[in-house]
Amino acid sequence: MIDSTNEEMAVVLAEMRYKAISDLLASVLSKKGGRWTYTDMFDHVFLHKSLGIPIFLALLWAVFQFTFSLSEPFMAMIEIAFGWLGGLAEIGISNPHIASFVSGGIVDGLGSVLVFVPPIFMLFFALSILEDSGYLARAAFVMDRLMYKLGLHGRSFIPMMMGFGCNIPAIMATRSIDNEKDRMITILVNPLISCGARLPVYVLIAGAVFGAKYAGTVIFSMYILGIALAIIMALIFRRTLFKGDPSPFVLELPAYLVPTAKTVIYHMWERGKLFLARAGTIIFGTVIIVWFLSTHPWDATAGGVIIENSYIASLGRFLEPIFSPFGWDWMTAVALLFGFLAKEVVVGTYGILLGVGEETLGESLVGLGLFTPLTGYAFMAFVLIYVPCVATIGIIAKEMHSYKWAAFVMAYLVVLAFLVSGSIIGAGRLLGLS
Amino acid sequence: MPKKRLNELEIGDKGKVIDLLSRGSLRQRFMDMGIVRGAEIEMVRRAPLGDPVEFLLKGYNLTLRQGEAASVLLEVE
């Protein structure tokens, strides 16, 4: 009874408010009838029945290129600079133990954080332009139908696409989704979108076991697998953890404006700063832990040189029984453990363990019988799915304001990775593959 | 005057709101955006995939999904 009275009150209030507004407007506003505004003209093109989607995809492609191609040289520069700093520390510090800690722990830790700065700042620069110009609302309008069918909201599309570059800025971009459930689902499935760091692993394994002729197709299938799993998981989460329809789509299309440099730079800086402050400490801390595990016991590893004797190798051997049904040995377990730092580290880890350069690494993997086409393919799927890198975990924890959710993401992805890779192995063996 | 639901308007059709059939937060959201009794609404266009739909009301452009627009009752000329 009280509820319905309240609701009636709200109706009367809203109606009176709008009546007061229109009475006021009638006395002060004179309309120029029939003339097209700039916004009408732009919308006629940007929201056109057949041009709307191609234009959206073209803009998305431009943002993607701007963010990830343009940031690549800067990322390489940061890596080189920190590599140089690490080298300097190793030469300059006489105590090898401290030198190793400074170089492999502190410098590498800082480098692992700062290397993400260029793509994050550039993505938010581009997104700010789209947002301030008024196009971002149109993008949600154009893509909502498709995303609604997947249990998501039109605003989820851009963060999902950005995941192909890097999941970290992609997860930060979910801030444009105002409904909490929609946003949580988009964050939870984002790690399944195959980011750029996984590509070097695919290139190595696919090139080694399938040969140059089929590698491209095999790699492409990984991206498709990731998208399919993201869709399936989004539907599952919508039906279990976050029940209910996607939030209503009640969105104003604002008038187009030319973005100002000041607000664009401000947005970029504010969001970029969040990454440094929030995820930075988690990434840095994990790099230090992994440095410790891979260089100790200090004497047995000869100061971090013989990685086979390190704690992390023991951990790999301990985990080997879990992976042996997949046809993978302890080195794979170690590579996967290191892959937690950043997925591309899987490649480098094999290089160190086998003592060969990256150019001949593929041949060695096949020559030593570490991977067959079947176990290699299952391994690629495993690398796609199993735990996101530590930086992604860090940003999930901070964006969802909960370490529990970050732990949940890791847990569900590990289980999913075993299920999918196990199914690939099982199906392959049924077909008589080894 | 004939009655229609907001999602039944074709491009260029206009109508006047006579009732909101939704309850709770969606109804509140609609009223906040100016969908109140007596408000005039014009259908502008559909999204390229057919849904959502863009409307013009009170001099600004609002987009709604068809399913949500169905809860707005209008009288049309």
Query: In 3-state terms, what secondary structure has residue A249?
Result: coil
**Roughly what angle, to the nearest 10 degrees, separates helices A261-295 and A330-339?**
150
Distance CA A18, CA A221 (A): 55
- When pLDDT is averaged across residues B7-17 and rounded to a whole number, the result is 91
State the CB neighbour count (10 A cutoff) for residue A318.
11
How large a percentage of chain A has pLDDT more than 70? 96
Distance CA A134, CA A211 (A): 47
Phi, psi at residue A243, to the nearest 5°? -65, 155
- When pLDDT is averaged across residues A374-397 and rounded to a whole number, the result is 91
Nearest chain A Cα distance for residue B57, angstroms = 11
In chain A, how long is the greatest CA-to-CA distance?
A: 87
**A144/B51 Cβ within 8 A:** yes
> pLDDT tens-digit profile of A19-45?
888 888 888 877 666 677 888 889 999
> pLDDT tens-digit profile of A133-174?
989 889 889 988 988 888 888 888 888 887 887 888 889 889
Tally of residues, chain B: 77
Task: Quote the pLDDT of residue B77.
Answer: 78
Distance CA A154, CA A161 (A): 12
In chain B, residues with a C-beta closer than 8 Å to the C-beta of A6 are none
Of A421 and A216, more confident: A421
What ipTM was reported for this prediction?
0.93
Chain B residue with Cα closest to A251? B63
Mean pLDDT for all residues in chain A = 85
Report CA torsion sign: A189, A62, A260, A278: positive
The residues that bridge with B43 in the sheet, in sequence order, are: B55
Task: Quote the pLDDT of residue A3.
Answer: 58
Confidence band for A278, pLDDT divided at 50, 70 and 90:
low
- When pLDDT is averaged across residues A117-126 and rounded to a whole number, the result is 82
- When pLDDT is averaged across residues A304-318 and rounded to a whole number, the result is 81
Assess A14–B contact: CB distance below 8 Å, yes or no.
Answer: yes
DSSP string across A63-99: HHIIIIIHHHHHHHHHHHHHHHHHHHHHHH-SSHHHH
Assess A253–B contact: CB distance below 8 Å, yes or no.
Answer: yes
Q: What b/e sequence results for A325-352 when a residue is b if at least 16 CB atoms lie within 10 Å of its CB, and e otherwise? A: ebbbbbbbbbbbbbbbbbbbbbbbbbbb
Of A428 and A34, more confident: A428
Helices (H) and strands (E) in chain B, counts: 2, 6
Q: Give me A271's structure tokens.
A: 């969001």
The mean-pLDDT minimum among A167-181, A371-385, A397-411 falls in: A167-181
Going by C-alpha positions, the residue among A53, A112, A58, A105 that lies closest to residue A295 is A105
Task: Quote the pLDDT of residue A325.
Answer: 87
Q: Which of residues 47-76 of B touch A (CB under 8 A)?
A: 47-52, 54, 58, 60-65, 68
> pLDDT tens-digit profile of A76-89?
888 889 889 888 88
In chain A, residues with a C-beta closer than 8 Å to the C-beta of B33 are 250, 252
The Cα-based distances of A298 to A96, A102, A161, A333 in angstroms read 10, 15, 44, 21
Residue A4 has pLDDT above 70, yes or no: no
Assess A11–B contact: CB distance below 8 Å, yes or no.
Answer: yes
Task: Quote the pLDDT of residue A6.
Answer: 73
Mean pLDDT for all residues in chain B = 89
In chain B, residues with a C-beta closer than 8 Å to the C-beta of A248 are 26, 29, 64-65, 68
The mean-pLDDT minimum among A33-37, A201-205, A362-366, A395-399 falls in: A33-37
Residue A275 has pLDDT above 80, yes or no: no
Distance CA A272, CA A123 (A): 10
Residue A421 has pLDDT above 70, yes or no: yes
**B28/A144 Cβ within 8 A:** no
Q: H helices of A192-260, where?
A: 199-239
Of B9 and A341, more confident: B9
Confidence band for A358, pLDDT divided at 50, 70 and 90:
low
Cis peptide before A325 (omega within 30 of 0): no
Task: Quote the pLDDT of residue A138.
Answer: 92
Report CA torsion sign: A391, A165, A160, A192: negative
**Roughly what angle, to the nearest 10 degrees, separates helices A135-149 and A117-133?**
100
Q: Are A338 and A319 in contact (CB under 8 A)?
A: no
How many degrees, rounded to 5, is the angle at CA A208 between CA A203 and CA A212? 70
Q: DSSP letter for B73, please.
A: E
Which helix (H) or strand (E) segment holds residue A1: the answer is none
What is the CATH code of the structural domain delimited by B3-75? 2.30.30.90
In chain A, residues with a C-beta closer than 8 Å to the C-beta of B27 are 7
In chain A, residues with a C-beta closer than 8 Å to the C-beta of B62 are 250-253
The Cα-based distances of A27 to A20, A23, A364, B37 in angstroms read 11, 7, 82, 21
How large a percentage of chain A has pLDDT more than 90? 21
**A250/B62 Cβ within 8 A:** yes
The mean-pLDDT minimum among A185-194, A360-369, B34-43 falls in: A360-369
User: What pTM does this model have?
Assistant: 0.78
Task: Quote the pLDDT of residue A1.
Answer: 43
Task: Quote the pLDDT of residue B61.
Answer: 92
Q: Give me A405's structure tokens.
A: 């959710």
Task: Quote the pLDDT of residue B27.
Answer: 86
- The edge-to-edge listing of strands for the beta sheet with B14-20 is A250-253, B60-64, B53-57, B40-46, B14-20, B72-75, B3-5
Question: Which amino acid is it at A403?
Answer: Y
End-to-end CA separation in angstroms for chain B: 6
The mean-pLDDT minimum among A90-94, A345-349, A372-376, A398-402 falls in: A345-349
- When pLDDT is averaged across residues A336-347 and rounded to a whole number, the result is 84
Specify the residue for token string 């700010």.
Answer: A128
State the CB neighbour count (10 A cutoff) for residue A244.
10
